[in-house]
Chains A and B, each alone.
Chain A
């Protein structure tokens, strides 16, 4: 098995926000990803790339315990956030998800008004301040205020796909998490909406740590500071392929001077 690389020279210099320590995630008895080590730096954008089925989403969901909702999914190893293993017994997964928000592949606004979509998360987390102000601020940060300010009472489902996704980003922002996880947030969107979201991410990383899964390598180059390349390989006697982290480094280096041959093949499109 290829050794998993964690480049201390890059991420070691920045304060790390989330660290995966020897993380293995299984669905039932099937190991989906194996032995992942990674230090995700604070206030940067980290992209996960790799062929589909290699476990990018699985690892991403492990970062805020979203996998808890999937029956049979289990994790070995440690995921350390702010010095605390989020899988420790005493940790409340609800609190983890409040501090580590998530944006999903398919836009999923609540079937409520635009205003309520934003206010909901804040309210359930005990927000006491000026709700109107929070709604406006969150929508502005997600670059969708201008399009929605006149119809805050209308249903979030009435927006276009790209607008819905930005609404979902605003919804995540409103809870004021420290990290925002995004699982292929633009895969269902048109190029213009995609561009808007990419531009927004450069703003967002000033206040949040962002981890984004993308199947689009140009997107990884455009938005991310760090990139991890995942791959999957068949295991002897196993039923499916098991994913693993091949290489984690500056985006610059991953795309221009990767250490691993597999990374080189993948980023240059010579992937079999």
Chain B
């Protein structure tokens, strides 16, 4: 482009019309695509909100705290499903976070030989590739029968405690929670692994250089440096767990009868929607959409919280 005669030619070169219009067109296209996302989001929200209005008018906020779900006399309360959604996803997190973060630590800190670390890493990623309907089948035919003796034991020894107060008979909250653990483990592991990998090597050396043991270095220096991204990942996983439908609906029992017990069949909002929407009519549709709206608001809140946490607590190393 630059010729022998000097720079003028270079600096004063006019961009041809075609090049400028391509630039402009591209800009327009990206704006269009970006706003499409917003439009779709808004559209979904408005549709759900509109559909839910009838139920909101007739049940009000008591919909959130009553548990009857009776299509015969059209009385609806979503408490069973809300309780199920919150309890199943929070307990799943409670189990999956130590497992996932622990796995990430094993993969990133050289505690075990590299080949083992890579094998474990690949296996966790493959876990994410299993379709949820397959996990659901596995839960029904393999996991739940294997789990039942243990759940029986829990009931027999801790039956006085509300969470274990019913006899486990098959599908229920407990196996649903475990299947959720399997489903969110890859996200938590992958995000924690990336977060730990981003902790500068110098920081690790600094920790070991003042005489830290492995555990002290990991728990006092490396994890705190990565914690904001890890929490962000955990919140994403929480959103995923609350919205997860297929595997859960296959194993949770889909019961709208409220029980505190984890050993009893239960329901989540997404499982309930998947099960009932097809046959619902009249105000039941509206009640389901009301529940869907609640679920959307819950996952929105979780996602916003995740972003806020990442921004608020992220550390800079410069």
**Which residue of B is nearest A98, CB measured?**
B211
Query: Cβ of A121 < 8 Å from any Cβ of B?
Result: yes
User: Which of the candidate stretches A17-25, A108-116, A202-210, A256-264 sits at the interface with the other chain?
Assistant: A108-116
Q: Which residues on A sit within 8 Å (CB–CB) of B296?
A: none
Q: Which of A90-116 contact B (CB under 8 A)?
A: 94-95, 97-98, 101-104, 106, 108-112
Query: Cβ of B21 < 8 Å from any Cβ of A?
Result: no
User: Nearest Cβ in chain A — how far from B107, in angstroms?
Assistant: 13
Q: Which residues on A sit within 8 Å (CB–CB) of B211?
A: 94-95, 97-98, 101, 121, 124-125, 175
User: Nearest Cβ in chain B — how far from A60, in angstroms?
Assistant: 12
**Which residue of B is nearest A103, CB measured?**
B209
> Could you mark each residue 201-237 of chain B with 1 if its beta carbon is under 8 Å from any beta carbon of chain A, else 0?
0111111111111001000110011000000000000
Query: Cβ of B301 < 8 Å from any Cβ of A?
Result: no
Secondary structure of the B contact surface, majority rule: helix
User: Which of the candidate stretches B93-101, B135-143, B179-187, B310-318 sits at the interface with the other chain?
Assistant: B310-318
Query: Cβ of A79 < 8 Å from any Cβ of B?
Result: no
Q: Which residues on A sit within 8 Å (CB–CB) of B216?
A: 124
Question: Which residue from A66, A120, A125, A172 sits with its C-beta under 8 Å from B220?
Answer: A120
Query: Cβ of B157 < 8 Å from any Cβ of A?
Result: no
User: Nearest Cβ in chain A — how far from B176, in angstroms?
Assistant: 39
User: Nearest Cβ in chain A — how far from B134, in angstroms?
Assistant: 36
> Could you mark each residue 3-36 of chain A with 1 if its beta carbon is under 8 Å from any beta carbon of chain B, else 0?
0000000000000000000000000000000000
Query: Cβ of B169 < 8 Å from any Cβ of A?
Result: no
Complex CA–CA separation, A120 to B225 (angstroms): 15
Q: Which residues on A sit within 8 Å (CB–CB) of B208?
A: 66, 69, 94, 97
Q: Which of A22-71 contact B (CB under 8 A)?
A: 64, 66, 69, 71
> Could you mark each residue 102-125 of chain B with 1 if its beta carbon is under 8 Å from any beta carbon of chain A, else 0?
000000001000100000000000
Complex CA–CA separation, A111 to B318 (angstroms): 10
**Which residue of A is nearest B203, CB measured?**
A108
> Could you mark each residue 145-179 of chain A with 1 if its beta carbon is under 8 Å from any beta carbon of chain B, else 0?
00000000000010000000000100110110000
Query: Cβ of B25 < 8 Å from any Cβ of A?
Result: no
Query: Cβ of B43 < 8 Å from any Cβ of A?
Result: no
> Could you mark each residue 192-207 of chain B with 1 if its beta carbon is under 8 Å from any beta carbon of chain A, else 0?
0000000010111111
Q: Are B209 and A172 in contact (CB under 8 A)?
A: yes
Q: Are A69 and B210 in contact (CB under 8 A)?
A: no
Question: What is the size, in residues, of chain A's interface with B at 8 Å between Cβ atoms?
Answer: 28
User: Nearest Cβ in chain B — how far from A33, in angstroms?
Assistant: 19
Q: Which residues on B sit within 8 Å (CB–CB) of A69?
A: 110, 204-205, 208
**Which residue of A is nearest B207, CB measured?**
A110
Q: Which residues on B sit within 8 Å (CB–CB) of A102?
A: 205, 209
Q: Which residues on B sit within 8 Å (CB–CB) of A174?
A: 210
User: Nearest Cβ in chain A — how far from B40, in angstroms?
Assistant: 39
> Could you mark each residue 230-258 of chain A with 1 if its beta carbon is under 8 Å from any beta carbon of chain B, else 0?
00000000000000000000000000000
Complex CA–CA separation, A124 to B221 (angstroms): 12
Q: Are A71 and B110 in contact (CB under 8 A)?
A: yes
Q: Are B317 and A121 in contact (CB under 8 A)?
A: no
Complex CA–CA separation, A69 to B224 (angstroms): 20
Q: Which residues on A sit within 8 Å (CB–CB) of B204?
A: 69
Q: Which residues on B sit within 8 Å (CB–CB) of A172?
A: 209-210
Question: Which residue from B213, B220, B224, B318 sits with its C-beta under 8 Å from A157?
Answer: B318
Complex CA–CA separation, A111 to B211 (angstroms): 17
Q: Are A108 and B206 in contact (CB under 8 A)?
A: yes
**Which residue of B is nearest A174, CB measured?**
B210
Q: Which residues on A sit within 8 Å (CB–CB) of B316?
A: 157
Further contacts, 17 of them, CB under 8 A, given A69-B205, A97-B210: A66-B205, A69-B208, A94-B208, A94-B211, A102-B205, A108-B203, A110-B207, A110-B221, A111-B203, A120-B210, A121-B211, A124-B213, A157-B317, A171-B206, A172-B209, A175-B210, A175-B211
Query: Which B residues lie at the A interface, using CB under 8 A?
Result: 110, 114, 200, 202-213, 216, 220-221, 224-225, 315-318
Query: Which A residues lie at the B interface, using CB under 8 A?
Result: 64, 66, 69, 71, 94-95, 97-98, 101-104, 106, 108-112, 120-121, 124-125, 157, 168, 171-172, 174-175
28 contacts between A and B (CB under 8 A): A69-B110, A69-B208, A94-B208, A94-B211, A94-B212, A94-B213, A97-B208, A97-B209, A101-B211, A102-B205, A102-B209, A104-B209, A106-B202, A108-B205, A110-B203, A110-B206, A110-B207, A110-B221, A110-B225, A111-B315, A112-B224, A120-B210, A124-B213, A124-B220, A125-B210, A157-B316, A168-B206, A175-B210
4 nearest CB pairs, A to B: A98-B211, A121-B210, A108-B202, A102-B209
